[in-house]
């Protein structure tokens, strides 16, 4: 299963820790982690996945050299925020951790496309989102869709 982990490129320590744990859990379950490849939540989730031997894919806004050091596969788009469409469409399901305006756009796209989305500390609450307190619960919710994913 390919799971998008979305959130802001700058975050506080608690949000970083949540994203790191999400990355660990996804890797332990054999998921490929997809994100925007930059800092903050993206770096934390990729670092967590790598700490458990996971595979990480970064869909970057411009160039491959922008990627954080925990990204295995670096996809340069030169599309800026328009890359959010690629992140959502490349993911079977998504987990948001905190976030800003870019995260809100990814959440909205995921909901519009019928993708399951679990949120930890969401910046907004939109109809169709599932909100969780613990990374374990968010990951378990997303994994419940693995059999129905293409």
Give the pLDDT of the chain (150 residues) as one tens digit per residue. Answer: 999 999 999 999 999 999 999 999 999 999 999 999 999 999 999 999 999 999 999 999 999 999 999 999 999 999 999 999 999 999 999 999 999 999 999 999 999 999 999 999 999 999 999 999 999 999 999 999 986 444
Domain coordinates of the chain in residue numbers? Answer: 2-126
Q: Is 94 buried (19+), middle (13-18) or exposed (0-12) by CB count in 10 A? A: buried
Counting Cβ atoms within 10 Å, is residue 130 exposed (0-12), middle (13-18) or buried (19+)?
middle
* pTM of the predicted protein model: 0.95
What kind of fold does domain 2-126 have according to CATH?
Rossmann fold (3.40.50)
Half-sphere CA count of 29, side-chain side, radius 13 A = 20
């Amino acid at each position: 299963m390919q799971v998008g982990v979305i959130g802001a490129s700058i975050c506080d320590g608690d949000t970083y820790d949540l994203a790191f744990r999400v990355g660990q859990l996804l890797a332990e379950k054999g998921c490929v982690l997809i994100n925007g490849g930059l800092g903050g939540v993206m770096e934390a989730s990729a670092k967590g996945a790598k700490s458990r031997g996971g595979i990480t894919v970064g869909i970057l806004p411009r160039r491959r050299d922008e990627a954080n050091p925990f990204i295995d596969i670096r996809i340069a788009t030169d599309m800026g925020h328009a890359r959010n469409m690629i992140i959502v469409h490349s993911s079977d399901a998504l987990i948001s951790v905190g976030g800003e305006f870019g995260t809100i756009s990814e959440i909205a796209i995921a909901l519009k496309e019928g993708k399951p989305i679990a949120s930890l500390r969401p910046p907004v609450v939109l109809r169709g989102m599932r909100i969780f307190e613990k990374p374990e619960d968010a990951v378990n919710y997303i994994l419940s869709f693995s059999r129905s994913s293409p």
